[in-house]
């Protein structure tokens, strides 16, 4: 056994002992931390397939354009969401590779001639009601939003369909991103709103967007300002921003670039976003934030990069991911470090508005960490992570996210990308 694997096992056992002895977690919550029987993987697979098929939507637009996608959740999220579709297409390959292709082809079918693909595509379900206030559309009849989501299309295509460089529409999509979202010319992408990262109300954005952060009273005004500016990065920057170079967005973008055979951005991400003192990756922002960004799961997302230097990856894992006072909760990993002041298991604000990514555990973020654990040889913690998450899903169902202490399901039900558990088991 490798020395770092022995060290990681010691950290893991310490974390289990910490939880079992109290450690801020009640005894009824320790069912996830001790040695346990491996979950019924056949049952997890059956549940995952049932939800994917239940959430599948397909049809043809009046102009003759066919579409097919997995709605993230039947109620709250009926439309096609960019990164949700990429994640579910990856899982569909376990059941029906043709659906993987059709899901990603639908994103490409919505593409503008210049290569842009929006965050949310409405297809035959128009955007109505109060959501017009916070969805990033520039016209009442817009077929999709004018904002982006983390661009992992090429990576998903490489896993589920084939060579993305053989599909010119994917190349055109990357040309648009490079031209319109690379603020400094170093290859890294910048976002104009926190929801473009997919991490919405993550406390890493609190010192950046402050009262205009996602879910706060100033957020609709931010949306209205950016709508007037057409979600143009440079126009938003000239208007005073804020704009942000966010880590998870760039990790997924880099994975797509690597799938296309383009030069890696990993060293650039290290040079610009790695905080050597904290041992974490941190977002950049203009104007510079007045406070220190929270330690969130985004800081660990580079573990998914195949060319992340081993010494940085091991530091992320041993100092942060497997630390019981940081991310290794009973249902790991929490989306915010347990010791960070921004951590909370609540998902609503004072006015009962939804505020995502402030503490609960998400399966897609866990998968990115799992990839790093496996690549760097931490096989036992990787297996333990998969076991705890699978047990949680069998107990609480495929939910949008989970209480990191109890495993209680939170957010939307029958959530599509939580089927990513199949990638880990």
In a domain, 255, yes or no: yes
C-alpha separations of 42 from 32, 47, 100, 393 in Å: 20, 9, 21, 13
Q: What is the pLDDT of residue 140?
A: 85
In a domain, 240, yes or no: yes
In a domain, 259, yes or no: yes
In a domain, 1, yes or no: no
Rounded to whole angstroms, the Cα distance separating 373 from 12 reads 13
Give the position of tokens 């939003």. Answer: 145
Q: What is the pLDDT of residue 18?
A: 39
Task: Give per-residue pLDDT as tens, 192-237.
Answer: 999 999 999 999 999 999 999 999 999 999 999 999 999 999 999 9
Q: What is the CATH number of the domain that holds 382?
A: 1.50.10.10
In a domain, 281, yes or no: yes
Task: With a cut of 50, list the residues of the chain below it in pLDDT.
Answer: 1, 5-6, 8, 11-31, 33
Q: Which domain holds residue 246?
A: 10-424
Q: Residue 172: is it exposed, middle or buried by C-beta count within 10 angstroms (0-12/13-18/19+)?
A: middle
In a domain, 2, yes or no: no
Q: What is the pLDDT of residue 412?
A: 96
Q: What is the pLDDT of residue 37?
A: 67
400 with 415: CB under 8 angstroms? yes
30 with 19: CB under 8 angstroms? yes
For the chain, how many structural domains are there in total? Answer: 1
- Rounded to two decimals, what is the model's pTM? 0.92
């Amino acid at each position: 056994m490798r020395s770092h694997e022995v060290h990681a096992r010691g950290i893991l056992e310490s974390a289990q002992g910490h939880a079992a002895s109290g450690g801020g977690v009640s005894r009824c919550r320790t069912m996830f931390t001790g040695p346990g029987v491996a979950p019924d993987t056949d049952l997890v697979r059956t549940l995952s397939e049932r939800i994917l098929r239940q959430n599948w939507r397909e049809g043809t637009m009046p102009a003759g354009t066919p579409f097919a996608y997995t709605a993230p959740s039947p109620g709250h999220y009926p439309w096609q969401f960019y990164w949700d579709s990429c994640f579910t297409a990856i899982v569909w390959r376990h059941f029906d590779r043709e659906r993987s292709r059709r899901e990603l082809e639908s994103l490409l079918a919505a593409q503008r001639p210049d290569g842009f693909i929006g965050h949310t595509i409405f297809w035959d379900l128009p955007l109505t009601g109060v959501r017009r206030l916070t969805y990033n559309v520039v016209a009442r009849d817009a077929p999709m939003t004018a904002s982006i989501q983390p661009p992992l299309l090429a990576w998903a295509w490489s896993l589920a369909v084939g060579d993305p460089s053989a599909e010119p529409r994917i190349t055109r999509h990357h040309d648009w991103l490079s031209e319109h979202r690379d603020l400094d010319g170093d290859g890294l992408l910048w976002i104009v709103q926190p929801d473009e990262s997919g991490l919405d109300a993550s406390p890493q954005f609190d010192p950046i967007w402050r009262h205009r952060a996602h879910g706060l009273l100033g957020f609709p005004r931010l949306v209205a300002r950016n709508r007037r500016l057409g979600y143009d990065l440079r126009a938003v920057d000239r208007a005073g921003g804020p704009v942000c170079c966010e880590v998870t967005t760039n990790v997924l973008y880099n994975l797509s670039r690597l799938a296309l055979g383009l030069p890696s951005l990993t060293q650039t991400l290290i040079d610009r976003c790695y905080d050597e003192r904290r041992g974490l990756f941190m977002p950049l922002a203009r104007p510079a934030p007045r406070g220190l960004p929270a330690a969130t799961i985004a800081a660990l997302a580079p573990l998914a990069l195949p060319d992340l230097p081993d010494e940085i990856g091991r530091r992320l894992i041993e100092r942060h991911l497997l630390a019981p006072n940081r991310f290794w909760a009973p249902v790991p990993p929490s989306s915010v470090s347990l010791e960070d002041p921004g951590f909370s298991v609540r998902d609503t604000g004072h006015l009962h508005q939804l505020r995502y990514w402030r503490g609960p555990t998400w399966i897609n973020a866990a998968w990115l960490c799992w990839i790093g654990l496996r690549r760097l040889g931490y096989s036992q913690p990787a297996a333990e992570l998969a076991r705890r998450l699978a047990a949680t899903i069998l107990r609480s169902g495929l939910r949008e996210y989970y209480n990191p202490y109890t495993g209680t399901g939170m957010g939307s039900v029958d959530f599509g990308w939580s089927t990513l558990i199949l990638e880990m088991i």
